[in-house]
Structure 1
């Protein structure tokens, strides 16, 4: 299925968005951390949603359980994407070039990623 893009009313999430810059929980479970990296699992059951959070470091994720996800971004846009097993993406962010988004499982299967954040 092709990606779907659109807009949403950010006021619906105003309280959560106001706290997003201080939410560095980029997964649902922290598996490992040292002075160079953090490794997270993100596991969302159908209908479950991870709150808005900030990415201010380079990171990459890999899909380990495929599914359909809805990402809302702080600028009021959204993306619905079908994530496939093994799909991997690297994103470069800094404290001055951040990404704030949430993630909701809008499919009917468990959606799961492993995410590695580079600290330096």
Structure 2
């Protein structure tokens, strides 16, 4: 019998992964988009988790705060990471490659990230719903 790789996950996490397996919403708000890039902000308050999302475009993120995060990945992997201001990671995806994951803030400070996706990558950008784009407060 094969062991369930998601058995140690909190309740509801597998359902979230299945529901959002093709979500291109990789941040809290899409603050800018051109024909070449998408720029996202991700704000994760202490104890909160972002929904699962799929990365298909080459991208990088930069953290703007100190904190601790837990990543949940499609294969069942769980990885804890400490972040600091300026912490930056780059990712590249070939044709058909992707990463499906969610990030939880397991620290006691807000986590703030900027993510830049490069639309001229090997894969077609995933659609983004209008409600996630930055709108000027009225």
TM norm structure 2: 0.77
* DSSP-derived class of the 1:18 partner: helix
Gaps of 5+ in 2: 121-138
Q: Counterpart in 2 of 1:90?
A: 90
Query: Do residues 115 (structure 1) and 110 (structure 2) align?
Result: no
Query: Do residues 56 (structure 1) and 53 (structure 2) align?
Result: no
1: distance between equivalents of 2:110 and 2:95? 31
**Structure holding more strand per residue:** 1
How far the C-alpha of 1:90 sits from its partner, in A, is: 0.4
Instruction: Give the CA RMSD over aligned residues.
Output: 1.7
Q: Deviations over 1:53-109 (max 9, x none)?
A: 000010000011121000000000010000111011100124511000000000000
Of 59-68 and 92-101, deviating more is: 92-101
How far the C-alpha of 1:11 sits from its partner, in A, is: 8.9
2: distance between equivalents of 1:95 and 1:57? 10
Q: Between Structure 1 and Structure 2, whose CA radius of gyration is higher? A: 2
TM norm structure 1: 0.87
Contact 1:31 1:40 survives alignment (8 Å): yes
Q: How many residues align?
A: 114
Q: Counterpart in 1 of 2:15?
A: 15
* DSSP-derived class of the 1:72 partner: strand
Q: Counterpart in 1 of 2:24?
A: 24
Gaps of 5+ in 1: 1-6
Contact 1:60 1:115 survives alignment (8 Å): yes
